Structure formats: C-alpha cells, structure tokens
Amino acid sequence: MIPSLTVRAWLQEATRLLRDAGVPSPEADARALVQHALNLGGVALLTRGTEPVAEADAARLVNLLRRRAAREPLQHLLGEVAWGGVRLRTDRRALVPRPETEWLLHLALETLQGVSAPRVLDVGTGTGALALGIKAARPDASVTATDLSPDALTLARENAVLNGLDVVFLAGRLLAGLSGPFDLIVSNPPYLPAADREQVDPEVRFDPDLALYAGPEGLDVARPLAVEAQAALAPGGMLLLELDPRNAGVFAAELREQGWQVAVLPDLAGRERFVRANRRAEG
C-alpha cells in the first residue's frame, strides 16, 4: 500500500530511498523526480509542500523512484532534458548526453567564430545533441550528422523535430559516403577501453555498448576517424574530439607524428579531454 503523504514528506522519503540505494545525488534526483511525477515547478514544490499527494500521483512517483534506485539514468526517467540550448529526448537508443560534452559544444562554437556559413559534420551523433546544439546557436551553419545505429538516428531525428531544427542525418560508419569539404568535423566518439565494461557506474549499463567502448585503448574509433577526416576537411578546417582523459594525450601525440597541428584542451575539471587538430598551424 502506498502511504498518504504530503509533497514535502514525499520529497524527504524520496531522498531517503535514493540515498539508501546508493544513488550519487539523492537530493537533486529526488527533487527532479517529485517535480516530474507531480507536475510541479520549483516554486510550487515549496509553496505546496503541505498539500497531500493524490494516490495516482504517488503511484507514479513510487514507480520512478524504484527505477532510479535500480540505477536507471535520471534522464531516461524524465524523458527529456535541457542540454546545450536544446531539448533532447533521452532513452536507451543512444548515449545520455553528458555535461562534459556541453563544453565540447562550446569549443565547437568557439572554433566556428569568424567562419561564415560553416559546413559542419557531427560523427556519431547519438541523440543529435552536438549537431542540434550547433545548429541552434549557428542557424547559418550547414550541419550534417552520422551514426551507425538506426535507433540513434531515429531518436536524433525526433529531437530535430522537437527543436524545429534542420540537420541532415545519415546512416553510416564515420564519414562513409561523405567527401566534404567541412570547416569542422566534431565528434564525441566511443572512447572507453573495453576493460572498463566491468567497472563502469550502474547507470552506464543503460547506454548502448556501441556508443561506449572502442577497443583495448579506447581509440579504435578515433584513429580511423582522423584518417578519414584528413580528406574531408576544408583548408584550415578543424577536427575536434572528446576523448577519455587517459588517452587524449596519447592520441594527440599520434596526430602530431602524422603532421597535424594539435591542441589538447581541458574540461571544466581541468582534465585533458578534448583534442583539436588541423593540417596546418592554427592562427
């Protein structure tokens, strides 16, 4: 039987349940799920704290709490998240967009400053996050996005419609069938070493393996992507990748040996996560 509690009491109970389940951010997740299940804004959560919760709403909340306690990602339970200036539906069809990748979007837009009507390719688009974030910020850009997963492409197209943005989505591995030229090729490719599969956070197990793991070192996608990008970049065009901090420096060194001009850039926590490269010195 589901207890009859007030909004405030449910918020406290939700926090307790998630904390006991080992959820990393129980207070924030409890607040998000209570607001979602009860259809309450942030102010209403405070001002209506003493109101009783209807049985149907309480049942919906309990179901969400049980799923989150089982470590299903919060983004899946909310169904839609705000990310990089766009709204994204999220589910098991594609990798949940990470906060770190919002900084990759920032770096991409920074790279495009001063480029008129840029031609952009997002490789391994997943939810479409990067492609849609770029298009939203730069309506003059011509944006193409690829993915190997038909399910991910379906989700990305749904997100394009949700945001009213015009992006070309194509099925294929890396740059298959595309010759460019592109002013920017950006990607958050699979980059985890295969050995990580047994030690990732429980939430990560809800993401598709195809979007996560890339061989023994985590570079089995980045390496061929760089090879294909050479022929598809416009003069002065940039390749911009998010990688595991453990191998960003390794990959940058490999690119330098191949004649690329390379910068390794930190994320907001100071970890070397992003690799920006072109075939001639950056001005």
| Domains of the chain, residue spans | 7-70, 93-278
| Residue pair 87/159 in contact by the 8 Å Cβ criterion | yes
Give the C-alpha separation, 219 to 221, whole Å.
5
Q: What is the pLDDT of residue 154?
A: 98
| Residue pair 60/79 in contact by the 8 Å Cβ criterion | no
Q: What is the pLDDT of residue 283?
A: 42
Residue 241, classed as helix, strand or coil, is strand
Q: What is the pLDDT of residue 280?
A: 62
Q: What is the pLDDT of residue 1?
A: 57
Give the C-alpha separation, 222 to 77, whole Å.
31
Half-sphere exposure of 193 (CA within 13 A, CB side): 9
Q: What is the pLDDT along the chain (283 residues), one digit of tens a residue?
A: 577 889 999 999 999 999 999 999 999 999 999 999 998 887 888 788 889 999 999 999 999 999 999 999 999 999 999 999 999 999 999 999 998 899 999 999 999 999 999 999 999 999 999 999 999 999 999 999 999 999 999 999 999 999 999 999 999 999 988 988 999 999 999 999 999 999 999 999 999 999 999 999 999 999 999 999 999 999 999 999 999 999 999 999 999 999 999 999 999 999 999 999 997 644 4
Homologous superfamily in CATH for domain 93-278: Vaccinia Virus protein VP39 (3.40.50.150)
Give the C-alpha separation, 33 to 11, whole Å.
9
Query: Rounded to whole angstroms, what are the CA distances from 250 to 101, 125, 242, 265?
Result: 20, 24, 13, 13
